[in-house]
């Protein structure tokens, strides 16, 4: 009888550990999906964007709209930025900080910003197309749905 109870317990445990394929998240597959979403989106943009877009090895695409002067910040910098953020799939503006400066420690921000902002010099401006894995990933955040590709237009006013 003890063996039967043990066997049933093992079966129940195995069944509860079985992952349903619908609930598994594959970051590699999501990165491929995001990359295609970004490429398709960029095809709809003006030639001035298409002709100047750069793909970083991380998966971020970006365009420098205005060259700044001086040095570039690093991931440990405090940055002073003006920016707007959109959901690529819907075009919905989810954040607008274009009227007043926002101050951030870059190391505390999403990985996409940590990679992207150091591509700007002081007083430089760019557009960054950030795959979900370098943003808020499969969990999303607040008004940002899971696996959202984001667009940010960022002006780097200063850094220290």
Domain 26-159: assigned CATH number? 3.10.50.40
Q: For the whole model, what pTM was predicted? A: 0.84
Condensed to tens digits (0 to 9), the pLDDT of residues 39-65 reads: 999 999 999 999 999 999 999 999 999
CB atoms within 10 A of CB 31: 16
Give all strands (DSSP E) within the chain, no chain letters.
54-55, 61-66, 78-87, 93-105, 124-130, 150-159
pLDDT at 70: 86
pLDDT tens series, the chain, 160 aa: 444 343 333 333 333 444 444 568 899 999 999 999 999 999 999 999 999 999 999 999 999 999 999 899 999 999 999 999 999 999 999 999 999 999 999 999 999 999 999 999 999 999 999 999 999 999 999 999 999 999 999 999 999 9
H helical segments located in the chain: 2-17, 27-42, 47-50, 111-116
Pair of tokens at residue 96: 């607008």
What are the residue boundaries of the structural domains of the chain, listed by start? 26-159
């Amino acid at each position: 009888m003890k063996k039967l109870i043990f066997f049933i317990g093992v079966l129940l445990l195995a069944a509860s550990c079985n992952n349903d394929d619908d609930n598994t998240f594959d970051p590699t597959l999501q990165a491929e999906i995001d990359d295609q979403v970004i490429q398709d989106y960029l095809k709809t943009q003006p030639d001035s964007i298409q002709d100047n877009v750069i793909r970083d090895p991380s998966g971020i695409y970006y365009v420098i709209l205005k060259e700044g002067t001086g040095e570039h910040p690093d991931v440990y910098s405090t940055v002073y930025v003006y920016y707007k953020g959109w959901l690529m799939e819907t075009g919905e503006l989810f954040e607008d900080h274009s009227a007043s400066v926002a101050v951030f420690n870059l190391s505390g921000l999403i990985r996409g910003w940590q990679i992207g902002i150091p591509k700007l010099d002081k007083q430089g401006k760019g557009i960054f197309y950030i795959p979900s894995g370098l943003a808020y990933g499969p969990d999303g955040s607040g008004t940002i749905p899971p696996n959202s590709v984001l667009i940010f237009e960022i002006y780097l006013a200063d850094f220290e």
